């Protein structure tokens, strides 16, 4: 197949200073939880994206000096020459496919607590560090500023030595000392580096010039800048100083990489922002510079990309998450296979890996982060080891992914589900407010399966031990999912919650399948991910009087890891959901619920006709109990995230026919003992 000519524009080369990108697909810097801690994994992940057609592939943040130490977050490091080989390996892989490698070198200043180096953090003015560590950053004097310029220059030279083609000056996300100097609220200096925009920009201008001088002969120098901080007059706005700064420095960098900040705004979830959500903020940039401009907005649609180029909004399509969900997105457009694109669902599970200092994972792409340690390629998979049949029961994320990957391997696959359509939990959850894009997990796989002659899907086919036996497949996987429990058993109440006769108790499954609660509703969230918050939101939007009770200090507290906790709590408050934090639900009676403070146990009662319990799920595993020799996958084995179910289905498909030798099931990156 060849590409549709209307996408030709996306494959035009773009000159960036002294280098040329082979097309307009640009993987902007993104964290991955691997960085310097799992360097082979990081390098292979980036290499895979080059193979998938991205013309520019950037690192995550690379620390340039111990005084800007982001430990324990595992980004890159270029403190001295001993750090070069890790990044050189990444560059080699990227160059193998003719792509360009970009290095986001950075001094994190007040954003870093220097937990490993124990240096005193640095900032334009005295301020506590942005993390909650009891540590302050000290105001930099002129010698510190000279040092910072030298560290940046040295790191740029090391990046060049490692093989990078682009070197960043990073002024985005409020994550860099340069951006802290720009900031009117962080920079309270009265010398030539503080006060007017001209003065606050001085350090950026100097470092830009230093970097061009150091490496600009062979490397492009990119400037990453957040044009709007979404803080109104307190910070940069795209109609105020954000625009002024770009006008001031318009022709200075070789490329503008523009976005909005902070990170939770730049990487907003699909629950709150649609594709293209940054367009209005960055649209002006191309009007004021002749240099190439790259911007992001969770673009997965090639038509939207073409429109941005043709309208003169951007020169290159920036992507972090779309390149994680589908490292082969450019190649699929180039080869005329756009229906094969595995579109990002905007859930930010990828971010959670970084926040936990563990390798990145992705809901849509189970191979993300596994390219090196398991040798999983996003597009290729070993052919079947035998001419065998596989029966998969349950077409949720786990069953669908197992069927898709086994079909790709060439097995004869039958996928059966008692429901009328494929999707499992996603069929219900995609109808919750803001979660429509999550349906892509099912849509992508349903389409792929529909194209495979060796995979048959049978809806409305409830399987029993007898029908399984009659089917006589060589392999059977049980992917029958899990159901929320109504007994209240969970983290806070291991023995469950007392419930009087006559009280209405529902689970999220009941609400999602249309049961309408009576009277005032209490949603008890002992789960802490999205479900409690989104059920409260749905019920409130349906007109219910809703109180959300949680033992945690905040609503949906785990969603800090997906960057949308603030947005979730704000939305619930604005919708009029009453929120009671740090309280347990101890009993449900007719018309009332008893709650208690998790610190003092102080009891109180609140009005409640219906309680919706969001505490835990139990596997639907009756088939397995009847036939324990069968294999369980996904939530039927251990209820977890949708990402974990997809991963489980994929792993089952990869490992079918491969003997389990009892070893650690992946390659490890071991730290060598230092020779001295």
- The binding track of 437-476 with respect to ligand ADP, each residue x by CB under 6 A or -, is -------------------------xx-------------
Query: Which CB, 347 or 579, lies closer to ligand SF4?
Result: 347
Nearer to ligand SF4, 394 or 397 (CB): 397
3-state DSSP assignment of residue 581: coil
| Complex with ligand ADP: residue 181 or 624, whichever CB lies closer | 624
All residues at 6 or more sequence positions from 60 whose CB lies less than 8 Å from its CB, including other chains: 29, 30, 31, 32, 35, 75, 76, 104
- Give the one entry of ligand SF4, ligand ADP, none that residue 517 binds, where binding means its C-beta sits below a cut-off of 5 to 8 angstroms depending on kind: none
Q: How far is the CB of 642 from ligand ADP (least distance, A)?
A: 6
User: Closest CB to ligand ADP belongs to which residue?
Assistant: 481
H/E/C letters for each residue in 377-438? Answer: CCCCCCCCCCCCEEEEECCCHHHHHHHHHHHHHCCEEEEECCCCCCCCHHHHHCCCCCCHHH
Tell me how far, at minimum, the Cβ of 449 lies from ligand ADP, in Å. 14
Determine if 393 is a binding residue for ligand ADP (CB under 6 A).
Answer: yes
Residue tagged active-site, from 173, 180, 265, 412 = 173
> Which residue among 417, 443, 526, 621 contacts ligand ADP (CB under 6 A)?
417
As a whole number of angstroms, the distance between CA 1 and CA 332 comes to: 10
Selecting among 170, 193, 281, 647, the annotated active-site residue is: 170
Q: How many CB atoms lie within 10 A of CB 209?
A: 15
DSSP code, position 491: S
Minimum gap (Å) between residue 448 Cβ and ligand ADP: 16
- Cβ count within 10 A of residue 335: 14
- Asked if 651 interacts with ligand ADP (CB under 6 A), we say no
Task: Write the secondary structure of 448-477 as one string of H (helix), E (strand) and C (coil).
Answer: HHHCCCCEEEECCCCCCHHHHHHHCCCEEE
Question: Which stretch, 180-188, 418-426, 496-504, 557-565, contacts ligand ADP (CB under 6 A)?
Answer: 418-426
Cβ-defined contacts of 306-311 (< 8 Å, 24+): 306/6, 306/7, 306/9, 306/10, 308/279, 309/9, 309/10, 309/24, 310/9
Total Cβ atoms within 10 A of residue 135: 16
Nearer to ligand SF4, 320 or 522 (CB): 320
Among ligand ADP, ligand SF4, none, residue 508 binds (CB under 5-8 Å by kind): none
Residue window 317-356: x/- pattern of binding to ligand SF4, with contact defined by CB under 6 A: ----x--xx------------------xxxxxxx------
Task: Give the number of C-alpha atoms closer than 13 A to the C-alpha of residue 657, restricted to the C-beta side.
Answer: 17
Q: Is 645 near ligand SF4 (CB under 6 A)? A: no
Known catalytic residue at 173: yes
CB of 413 to ligand ADP, least distance (A): 15
Q: Report if residue 416 touches ligand ADP, rule: CB under 6 A.
A: yes
Token couple for 276: 């293209």
- Alpha helices, H only, 216-328: 241-249, 263-266, 279-282, 285-288, 302-310, 321-325
Binding mask 204-243 for ligand ADP (x = CB under 6 A): ----------------------------------------
Report the site for ligand ADP in 122-141 (rule: CB under 6 A).
none
Locate 470 and state its tokens. Answer: 């009659």
Q: Which of 69, 165, 266, 525 is catalytic?
A: 266
Token duo for residue 638: 């251990």
Minimum CB separation of residue 527 from ligand ADP in Å reads 15
Q: Please state the φ and ψ torsions of residue 476, each to the nearest 5 degrees.
A: -130, 130
Distance CA 109, CA 70 (A): 9
Q: Does 424 bind ligand ADP (CB under 6 A)?
A: yes
Looking up tokens 């220059």, which residue turns up?
Answer: 153
Pairing assessment for the beta strands 19-21 and 293-295 based on DSSP bridges: unpaired
Binding residues for ligand SF4, total number by CB under 6 A: 13
How many angstroms separate the CA atoms of 120 and 223, rounded? Answer: 27
Q: Cβ–Cβ contacts within 10 Å for residue 334, how many?
A: 19
Minimum distance from residue 393 beta carbon to ligand ADP (Å): 5
Tell me the two tokens of residue 233. 């007059």
* 395 makes contact with ligand ADP (CB under 6 A): yes
In the complex, what is the shortest distance from the CB of residue 326 to ligand ADP, in angstroms, rounded to a whole number?
A: 21
Using the rule CB under 6 A, which residue among 174, 363, 446, 559 binds ligand SF4? 363
Query: One of 26, 30, 31, 228 is an active-site residue; which one?
Result: 31
645 binds ligand ADP (CB under 6 A): yes
Q: Which is nearer to ligand SF4, 214 or 325 (CB)?
A: 325
Provide the 3-class DSSP secondary structure of residue 13.
Answer: coil
Strand, coil or helix: 123 = strand
Cβ neighbours around 609 below 10 Å, total? 18
Residue closer to ligand ADP, measured from CB, 627 or 667:
627
CA–CA distance, 8 with 432 (Å, rounded to integer) = 38
Residue 567 binding result from ligand SF4, ligand ADP, none, given CB thresholds of 5 to 8 Å by partner type: none
Q: Which of 364, 408, 550, 556 contacts ligand SF4 by CB under 6 A?
A: 364
Q: Which is nearer to ligand SF4, 444 or 524 (CB)?
A: 444
Residues 607 to 636: which contact ligand ADP by CB under 6 A? 620, 623, 634-636
The binder of 481, among ligand ADP, ligand SF4, none, by C-beta within 5 to 8 A per type, is ligand ADP
Binding interface with ligand ADP (CB under 6 A):
393-399, 416-419, 424-425, 462-463, 479-482, 620, 623, 634-636, 645
Q: Which residues bind ligand SF4 (CB under 6 A)?
A: 321, 324-325, 344-350, 362-364
Residues annotated as part of the active site: 31, 170, 173, 266
């Amino acid at each position: 197949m060849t590409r549709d000519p209307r996408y030709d524009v996306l494959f035009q080369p773009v000159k960036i200073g002294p280098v040329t990108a082979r097309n307009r697909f640009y993987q902007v810097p993104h964290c991955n939880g691997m960085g310097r801690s799992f360097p082979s994994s990081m390098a292979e992940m980036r290499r895979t994206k080059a193979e998938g057609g991205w013309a520019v592939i950037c690192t995550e943040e690379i620390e340039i000096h111990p005084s800007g130490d982001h430990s324990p977050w595992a980004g890159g490091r270029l403190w001295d020459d001993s750090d070069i080989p890790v990044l050189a390996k990444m560059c080699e892989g990227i160059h193998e496919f003719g792509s360009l490698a970009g290095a986001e070198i950075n001094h994190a200043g007040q954003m870093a607590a220097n937990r490993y180096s124990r240096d005193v953090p640095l900032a334009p003015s005295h301020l506590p560090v942005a993390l909650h560590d009891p540590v302050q950053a000290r105001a930099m004097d002129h010698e510190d500023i000279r040092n910072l310029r030298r560290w940046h220059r040295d790191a740029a030279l090391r990046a060049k030595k490692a093989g990078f083609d682009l070197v960043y000056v990073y002024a985005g996300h409020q994550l860099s000392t340069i951006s802290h100097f720009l900031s009117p609220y962080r920079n309270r200096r009265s010398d030539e580096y503080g006060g007017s925009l001209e003065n606050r920009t001085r350090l950026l201008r100097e470092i830009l010039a230093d970097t061009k001088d150091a490496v600009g002969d062979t490397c492009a120098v990119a400037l990453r800048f957040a044009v709007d901080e979404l803080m109104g007059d307190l910070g940069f706005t795209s109609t105020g100083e954000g625009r002024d700064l770009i006008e001031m420095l318009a022709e200075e960098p070789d490329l503008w990489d523009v976005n909005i900040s902070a990170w939770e705004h730049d990487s907003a979830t699909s629950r709150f922002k649609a594709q293209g959500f940054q367009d209005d903020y960055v649209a002006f940039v191309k009007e004021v510079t002749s240099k190439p401009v790259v911007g992001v907005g969770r673009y997965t649609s090639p038509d939207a990309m073409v429109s941005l180029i043709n309208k003169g909004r951007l020169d290159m399509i920036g992507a972090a998450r779309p390149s994680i969900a589908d490292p082969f997105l450019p190649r699929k457009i180039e080869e005329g296979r756009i229906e094969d694109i595995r579109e990002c669902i905007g859930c930010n599970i990828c971010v959670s890996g970084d926040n936990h200092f563990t390798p990145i994972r992705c809901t849509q792409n189970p191979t993300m982060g596994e390219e090196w340690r398991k040798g999983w390629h996003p597009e290729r998979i070993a052919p079947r080891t035998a001419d065998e049949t596989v029966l998969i029961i349950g077409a949720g994320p786990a069953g669908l992914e197992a069927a898709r990957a086994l079909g790709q391997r060439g097995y004869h696959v039958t996928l059966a589900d008692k429901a009328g359509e494929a999707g499992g939990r996603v069929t219900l959850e995609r109808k919750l407010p803001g979660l429509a894009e999550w349906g892509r997990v099912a849509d992508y796989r349903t389409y792929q399966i529909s194209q495979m002659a060796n995979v048959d899907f049978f809806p409305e086919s409830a399987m029993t031990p007898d029908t399984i036996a009659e089917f006589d497949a060589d392999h059977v996987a049980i992917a029958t999912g899990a159901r929320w429990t109504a007994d209240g058993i969970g983290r806070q109440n291991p023995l469950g919650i007392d419930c009087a006769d006559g009280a209405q108790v529902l689970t999220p499954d009941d609400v999602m399948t249309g049961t309408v609660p009576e009277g005032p509703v209490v949603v008890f969230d002992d789960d802490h991910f999205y479900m409690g918050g989104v059920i409260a939101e749905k019920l409130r939007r349906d007109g219910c009087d809703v109180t959300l009770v949680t033992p945690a200090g905040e609503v949906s507290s785990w969603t800090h890891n997906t960057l949308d906790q603030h947005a979730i709590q704000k939305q619930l408050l604005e919708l009029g959901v009453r929120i009671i934090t740090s309280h347990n639900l101890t009993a449900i009676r007719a018309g009332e619920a008893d709650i208690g403070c998790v610190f003092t146990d102080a009891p109180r009662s609140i009005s409640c006709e219906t309680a919706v319990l969001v505490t835990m799920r139990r596997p639907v595993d009756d088939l397995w109990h009847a036939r324990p020799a069968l294999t369980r996958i996904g939530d039927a084995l251990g209820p977890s995230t949708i990402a974990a179910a997809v991963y489980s289905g994929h792993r089952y498909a990869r490992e079918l026919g491969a003997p389990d030798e009892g070893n650690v099931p992946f390659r490890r990156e071991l730290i060598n003992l230092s020779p001295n």
